[in-house]
Structure 1
Amino acid sequence: MSARKTRRPSGRPLPGWLAFVACLSALVLGLVGPDASAQAADDAAPAESAAPPPAPPPGGYKSGLYPMPNDAETPLAFMPPGSAATPVPSEEIYPPQTITIRFNHKKHTKDLKQTCKSCHAAAYTSDKVADRLMPKAEQCDACHDVDHSDLHDVKAGTDANGQCVFCHIGDKAGEKGSVAPMVLPNANLVFTHKKHLDRNIQCGQCHGQVGELELATRDQLPRMAGCFACHNMSGAAQGQAKGACTTCHTARNDGRMITSFTTGNLVPPQWMHNAAHTPDFIERHKSVAANDSAFCGSCHTTNECTDCHDGRVRPRKVHPNDWLSIHAQSARQDNPRCASCHQAQTFCGDCHRRVGVARDTGSGNRLTGRRFHPPAAEFTTAPRGPNHHAWEAMRNLNACVSCHTERDCATCHATKGLSGGHGVNPHPIGFRDKCGAAFARNPRPCLVCHQSNDPFVRACQ
């Protein structure tokens, strides 16, 4: 054997001893046979790598077993509206199904010119999700050579389309000759087909283009993102399609949604207010709750919030770090979220007294120039300006009474002489024309300043 030097891809010659080993290996492989290495590789491969051949379809039929022929992917254009946001329907709303028949919707609608109502007429009068909307077996007898008049003694004809295996897949467990039942659990929703159909909302607007498919599965059930096309409108355009959660979702007696089901817990999707309960939601939920606390209240109670935010379970992380210097503006806006955790006369009042900005604090505690209200020239004396206390009281009287009592107001606004006040009229222009409604609603505030025999009060009775 001539010792021709084998070259690497780079063009450099191999060492002589390596070339000798290569030639020897080629000689050994030639003696053993060309299939030895392949056989060795097959022996080393794990046994489970060889996938079993797919089971043949029942009766040799291939259509109607999947939504698309050969189980191809269903085009998005055929799917229900909202499928782009939610590709797979929620198992908490639509529990898993067991479909034990083959059916070709496209064959029936395109070739045989059948309509949805031909088989699902019950949907046009259905008022609840528990109604059975699937066609009765005897409806098929008009076209198929079979007699379903007695379901305990079904008589198959001679044509292929009348044999059980033509539509049914598999036998009932332990009973040869009995077809396997379909399992179609009720949706966990409040829904009426009749109201939607009466408003000319057709099947495809909720279920997609079923007429373009073969087998319809739970993938053709409506998506909430699609429902929002009508139920999330505003004003007159919304009509009767209300957007409250309990319009469609089941609820407890207290009005909160039922979120726990045997198939899992119902949580908001990502596209809804960015409220998906993903692992990072503990950091994001503050923004969702701040934007729309009523949305959170659809499922959660206030106690669930205070369990964490009252400071006993974990550190209080409700407010930003500079909240102490900016909280006054939010408090003036009459934000109810303050009162959901704090008591104004204790929590707020105690802090204001300590720092010397409360009315009843010791003058020695008040820092130079520190005051709670603007100067008297702006806050109390006329003319009224943006900082006048009259506007503050009308905007948020609850904030005033957290420090002041009713007598503080009567000091100035009570009637002169009769009640010891200064006689400053607190009523707006034209109040006398509508004082009767105010007195009928609650006369007690009137009697703080007026005597019962006051002619002004008699005029309002």
Structure 2
Amino acid sequence: MERQFRTALGIVVVSFVAAGIAWAATGRERSLAVYPAQHIPLRFDHKQHLAAGAECVTCHDAARASGSVKDRLLPGHEECESCHDIEAARKGEKTDPAASCHTCHPGFDPTVRMAPAKVDVPTANLRFNHKVHVDKKVQCATCHGAMTDVQLASRQQLPKMATCFECHDGTVASKACATCHPTQPASGRLQLTFPSGVLRPMQGNPLGLDHGPRYEFTHGNRASVDRQTCMSCHAESDCQSCHDALQKPLSVHPNDYLTLHPVQARQDSVRCSSCHRTQSFCAACHERTGVGMDADRSLRPRNVKVHPDYNTWVEVPGPQHHGIVASRDLQQCASCHREESCMSCHSARSERRQVNPHPDGFGAMCKRAASANDRACLKCHTETSLAEKGCR
């Protein structure tokens, strides 16, 4: 048992020991927001020590009782002196194994009264208890990998989330994000911003939530089936900041999108309406640019004709009459015309003209329709006119 603990616990530090030189290379694989960059200007060979009979607990015995990531688990001179006679080396005596300062501190000259380069291993932005894992007989190699071919350990030997999920599957151990990741006191959601970086799902994460390029185009399906996971990090206001259509994200709509959007709008109006409201956004914008019946006359283009001549479009019933066209694609009409445009002719309240928009025989069913929901009726009719038509 003791030997297993040692094999496992050495890996804990192994992962910390190597970081100084290798952090830039492994930063692509281990999030800086979780494991901040380390600087460990040491010369060390785990493979050599394990081959010589050293075990994990030989150098990292403190890990067995550690309950916090803030605990320092790297060995100091005290642990090294169990094998390396540092005091004899300081006196100039020959030692085996070597124990001079520059054995582990390359470039350090003890004759110059300066301290060796500082080892900097920042605290990981995680909640972790080594003791709990050791008590449950989790081997060090389970999380940190085998060290038999590792020299100076790096951030590459720190566990990734996929490794954690081998046990944290909701059955053996909790799979809630807050089990390991720090949370914000006020909201309970995960803390995303740290001095070392921003927490963001990376490529290959086990949840399939790679927030890489173009994720804004693909996140909708995942959010609809696993919203609770999204809510671990995001509030509803985060969604609304993009979906309220008040600001155009350049990643969604490229430059000069104004000249291109009609084509996409005709092909995929449902996608457009997931962010934009036709009446408050499309119609309003079209009016400001001179498109639409309610636009200022000075803004209307003089060389563009959208509809057929007035008689064909308004007066004479036929295949090009606006009523027929509207019944086929009302969404297209609504992109330029507001509801008030229709009511200017088709409402009982209109002072301009009152053209009945209902089909023949509608009077026989109007009472049933009004009793079911008269909100649509009252758009054009008063209570009095509904009663007069027998709809009350």
TM normalised by structure 2 equals 0.54
Question: Displacement, 1:289?
Answer: 1.1
Q: Percent identity?
A: 35
Contact 1:169-1:180 at 8 Å conserved across structures: no
- What residue in structure 2 maps to residue 359 of structure 1? 372
Structure 1 residue 119 corresponds to structure 2 residue 59: yes
Instruction: Summarize deviations over 1:228-287 as a string: whole Å, max 9, x none.
Output: 1111x24xxx23x21111100011112111111222211112334442222311211212
Contact 2:144-2:159 at 8 Å conserved across structures: yes
Q: 1:360 to 1:122 in 2, by over 3 A?
A: same
> What pairs up with 1:104-253 in 2 under 5 angstroms?
104-111=45-52, 113-147=53-87, 155-159=90-94, 161-171=98-108, 176-231=113-168, 233-234=169-170, 238-239=171-172, 241-253=173-185
Pick aligned residue for 2:243 from 295, 309, 325: 309
Q: How many positions carry a matched residue from both structures?
A: 241
- Partners of 1:193 and 1:358 lie apart in 2 by 68
Contact 1:156-1:163 at 8 Å conserved across structures: no
> What pairs up with 1:407-418 in 2 under 5 angstroms?
none
Pick aligned residue for 1:259 from 172, 192, 195: 192
Q: 1:361 to 1:208 in 2, by over 3 A?
A: same
Question: Displacement, 1:133?
Answer: 0.5
Q: 1:226 to 1:361 in 2, by over 3 A?
A: same
Instruction: Summarize deviations over 1:24-83 as a string: whole Å, max 9, x none.
Output: xxxxxxxxxxxxxxxxxxxxxxxxxxxxxxxxxxxxxxxxxx98xxx9xxxxxxxxxxx9
The 3-state SS of whatever aligns with 2:29 is: coil
- What residue in structure 2 maps to residue 283 of structure 1? 217
- What residue in structure 2 maps to residue 350 of structure 1? none
Q: Which amino acid aligns with 1:201?
A: V
Question: Displacement, 1:155?
Answer: 3.7
Question: Displacement, 1:96?
Answer: 1.1
Question: Displacement, 1:177?
Answer: 4.4
Pick aligned residue for 2:38 from 91, 97, 101: 97
Instruction: Summarize deviations over 1:285-326 as a string: whole Å, max 9, x none.
Output: 212211211111111111111222234345999965899xxx
| Unaligned 5+ runs, structure 2 | 1-16, 254-264, 275-365, 379-392
TM normalised by structure 1 equals 0.47
Contact 2:370-2:377 at 8 Å conserved across structures: no
> What pairs up with 1:7-86 in 2 under 5 angstroms?
none
- What residue in structure 2 maps to residue 407 of structure 1? none
The 3-state SS of whatever aligns with 2:115 is: strand
- Partners of 2:165 and 2:242 lie apart in 1 by 33
Contact 2:177-2:232 at 8 Å conserved across structures: yes
- Partners of 1:259 and 1:363 lie apart in 2 by 47
Q: 1:306 to 1:319 in 2, by over 3 A?
A: farther
Instruction: Summarize deviations over 1:93-129 as a string: whole Å, max 9, x none.
Output: 1111111221121222222x12101110100000000
| Unaligned 5+ runs, structure 1 | 1-65, 72-82, 149-153, 324-352, 366-461
- Partners of 2:92 and 2:370 lie apart in 1 by 95
- What residue in structure 1 maps to residue 202 of structure 2? 269
Contact 2:36-2:196 at 8 Å conserved across structures: yes
- Partners of 1:167 and 1:204 lie apart in 2 by 24
Q: Which amino acid aligns with 1:250?
A: P
Q: 1:310 to 1:147 in 2, by over 3 A?
A: same
- Partners of 2:79 and 2:269 lie apart in 1 by 62
Q: 1:177 to 1:313 in 2, by over 3 A?
A: closer
- Partners of 2:128 and 2:214 lie apart in 1 by 33
Contact 1:104-1:215 at 8 Å conserved across structures: yes
Q: 1:294 to 1:145 in 2, by over 3 A?
A: same
- Partners of 1:279 and 1:142 lie apart in 2 by 51
Q: Which amino acid aligns with 1:222?
A: P
Q: 1:199 to 1:279 in 2, by over 3 A?
A: same
- Partners of 1:207 and 1:279 lie apart in 2 by 30
Which of 303-312 and 284-293 deviates more?
303-312
- What residue in structure 2 maps to residue 47 of structure 1? none
Q: 1 or 2 for the larger relative contact order (CA 8 Å, sep ≥6)? A: 2
Q: 1:303 to 1:166 in 2, by over 3 A?
A: same
- Partners of 2:66 and 2:270 lie apart in 1 by 50
Cα RMSD (Å): 3.5
